Amino acid sequence: MSTNDSLQQRYEAILAPYLNPLYAKPISIDKGDGSYVWDIEGNKYLDFFGGVLTTMIGHNNPAVTEAIQAQASKVLHTSTLYLSEPMIELAEEIGAASGIPDARVFFTTSGSEANDTALMLATSYRNSNEILAMRNSYHGRTFATQAITSQSSWLSSRISGLSVNYVQGPYRLRSPFQDIPDEKLTDACVADLQQIIDTATTGNIACLIFEPIQGVGGFAIPPDGFYGEMGKTLSNYGALIISDEVQTGWGRTGEHFWGYQAHGIIPDMLTFAKGVGNGITLAGIVARAEIMENITALNFSTFGGNPLSAAAGLATFREVTNKNMQANAKKMGARLKDGLEAVAEETPWIGDLRGRGLMVALEIVGDETESGSVEPYPERAAEFLEICKDLGLLLGKGGVFGNVIRITPMLNVDEEEIDQGIEIIIKAIKAIG
């Protein structure tokens, strides 16, 4: 019988060496039910990461499982060369929910591919290779999306045909704008945007792409209206706006169904992935028709809109909307933050507790505070992650320096599970001291 240790040995012997398991002692997740998973050795864990925000409405969700089983008994695959009712129906519902006028949908298999497609559409539509992205951003691992990723630790290639400039973004703790009020932060970043346009571009900008809340960047949250103000400047240049909703979509932020809705702006395109399939591979892009129609070459997608994926997506989407899981995300997210606030304030090595809805983060810093240092402490973050795992709680990690703990329960998490997670996190904090 396989064990976690034996699987780790096989993993390291055959898979690409640049893959990085989350834990020093990795686990193999064998089965799941709701907010809980069991590893191959039978150990039970409360899952507050969901396969990187992907198992959005619980493991083995009955509605999703039944939809997958029903579709699997009919046909597993067709491609976009054929008409597929599940694909068309899902596109109709996502397009209507997107808020983008005259919306058109293109399905892909990953968020990286969705963002890659958005860049292709923007550069073609604008006849420009000039891209604006945000500092501390992450948009994927494809050749094109690596070019717009502003985290050196995640860059596999620095070679690109895109001309990319990075705008000052929402991260506060270790930025020059740490202590300024929200309104002044927005003004300063818009001024930075204008300076970059004036000094580093031709003015013929294809697009700005942003994450409403930076995911891999450690859940950096801008003030409301931040990207709306940037949009006002960009409108003077005809630049397109792309909202990367791979982690922020489907009501996870609690206050809005899409992250962009906090900013008083309607993007020209949005990309989505992760949670919409509740674990089944599904992603895509929504764009205004005139942008999507700009591609005139022959195109199809082998796996985009796969009927099995579309069936899972429809079931997930309807569970989220029909059961108002957005409201639950808001309520449970507040309960989670409130439950951690006191211990975060009294723990010197927790530099920041932040979050919106069920996207909550703890930023781990050094506790040598005589100089007021807030230097990142990734080693302690890794230690904290391991302790939580040993106590039966799975969390994520992020941040530019790998020092941010990401806490992302399922959208249908209940009070008992939130309280259990809080209890374990507090216990882990006290274990470190």
Determine which of 103-112, 292-301, 303-312, 318-327 has the lowest per-residue pLDDT on average: 292-301
Query: How do residues 381-414 score in pLDDT, each as one tens digit?
Result: 999 999 999 999 999 999 989 999 999 999 999 9
Inform me whether the pLDDT recorded for 156 exceeds 90. no
Q: Are residues 16 and 125 in the same domain?
A: no
Same domain, 259 and 401: no
pLDDT the model gives residue 179: 83
Q: Are residues 39 and 112 in the same domain?
A: no
Residues 92 and 224 in one domain: yes
Residue numbers of the domain that contains 258 = 65-322
- Strand-pair partners of 363: 352, 404
DSSP 223: P
Does 218 share its domain with 357?
A: no
Average pLDDT, integer, range 181-190: 93
303, 365: one domain: no
For residue 275, give both structure tokens: 């949670």
Burial class (CB in 10 A: 0-12, 13-18, 19+), 76: exposed
Judge whether 405 and 389 are in contact, CB under 8 Å: no
What is the predicted pLDDT for the residue at 176? 81
The verdict on 104 and 116 lying in the same domain is yes
Q: Which two tokens stand for residue 328?
A: 């639950």
**How does residue 355 score in pLDDT terms, banded at 50, 70 and 90?**
very high
18: left (phi over 0), alpha (psi -120 to 50) or beta: alpha
Beta-carbon contacts of residue 256 (< 8 Å; ≥ 6 apart): 262, 326
pLDDT in the model for residue 298: 85
Q: pLDDT at position 367, please?
A: 64
Lowest mean pLDDT segment, chosen from 52-56, 145-149, 235-239 = 145-149
Answer yes or no: do 27 and 72 share one domain.
no
Domain finish residue from 322, 356, 382: 322
Domain identity same for 304 and 350 = no
What is d(CA 332, CA 324) in angstroms, rounded to the nearest whole number? 13
Mean pLDDT of the chain: 95
pLDDT reported for residue 368: 59
Distance CA 8, CA 22 (A): 12
Residue 22 pLDDT exceeds 80: yes
Distance from C-alpha of 197 to C-alpha of 154, rounded to nearest angstrom: 26
- How far apart CA 227 and CA 225 sit, in angstroms, is 6
CATH number of residue 295's parent domain: 3.40.640.10
> Which CATH number covers residue 359?
3.90.1150.10
From 322, 351, 381, the end of a domain falls on 322
Q: Which residue do the tokens 């292709």 mark? A: 120
pLDDT for residue 369 is more than 90: no
CA distance 353 to 93: 35
Which residue carries 């932060």 as its tokens? Answer: 185
Residue showing tokens 């904090």: 429
Task: Report the number of distinct structural domains present in the chain.
Answer: 2
- If asked whether residues 173 and 27 sit together in one domain, one would say no
Q: Is the domain of 24 the same as that of 165?
A: no
Across 372-396, b (16+ Cβ under 10 Å) vs e yields eeeebbeebbbbbbebbbeeebbbb
Please report which residue ranges of 105-181 form alpha helices under DSSP H.
Answer: 111-126, 143-146
C-alpha–C-alpha distance, residues 154 and 103, integer Å: 32
Domain boundary among 286, 301, 322: 322
Question: Do 105 and 206 belong together in one domain?
Answer: yes
What is the rounded average pLDDT of the residues 15-22? 90
Instruction: Please write the tens of the pLDDT for every residue from 203-261.
Output: 999 999 999 999 999 999 999 999 999 999 999 999 999 999 999 999 999 999 999 99
Q: Does 154 or 227 have the greater pLDDT score?
A: 227
For the segment 66-84, the average pLDDT, to the nearest whole number, is 96
CA angle, corner 94, sides to 91 and 99, nearest 5?
130
Q: Looking at residues 258-281, what average pLDDT do you find?
A: 97
User: Confidence class of residue 1 from pLDDT cuts 50, 70 and 90?
Assistant: confident
Output the pLDDT for position 201.
97
Q: Which two tokens stand for residue 10?
A: 């096989």
**What is residue 373's predicted lDDT score, i.e. its pLDDT?**
61
CB 93 within 8 A of CB 266: no
Q: At what angle do helices 307-322 and 85-98 cross, to 10 degrees?
A: 40
C-alpha 130/C-alpha 135 separation (Å) is 16
CB 197 within 8 A of CB 163: no
